[in-house]
Amino acid sequence: MSITSEQIRAAKAMIRWSGEELANAAGVSLSSIRRVEASVGVPQAQNMRTVLAIKEALETAGVEFTGTPDDWPGVRLRTSPNASLKKG
């Protein structure tokens, strides 16, 4: 499932992560996070590996991506913020 840069920004804000926290969780650079967040819509193909890592990190933190890029894209929490990170 494709996600948009807007969904990434919303998800990051929802769980109150900084760009650095997201970068660490996703295993990518902070500059990669900033580049993806700065785009509009679905990030460009060359960023897809980065976007997948970001999506997986946010989902692990409890974010659920809803809709499609063309039909009601959104985010919601499956659990309380960072709940999966606290279970360790």
pTM score of the predicted model? 0.84
pLDDT over threshold 50, residue 21:
yes
18 inside domain: yes
* Spatial CB neighbours of 70, under 8 Å, sequence gap ≥ 6: none
81 inside domain: no
Number of domains in the chain: 1
15 inside domain: yes
pLDDT (tens digit per residue) in 39-83: 999 988 777 899 999 999 999 999 999 998 889 999 999 865 555
32 inside domain: yes
SS3 (DSSP) at 62: coil
72 inside domain: yes
The CATH number given to whatever domain includes residue 20 is 1.10.260.40
Domain containing residue 54: 5-76
27 inside domain: yes
Please list the helix, strand and coil fractions of the chain in percent, rounded to the nearest 5, in that order: 55, 15, 30
Dihedral sign, Cα of residue 50, residue 78, residue 18, residue 38: positive
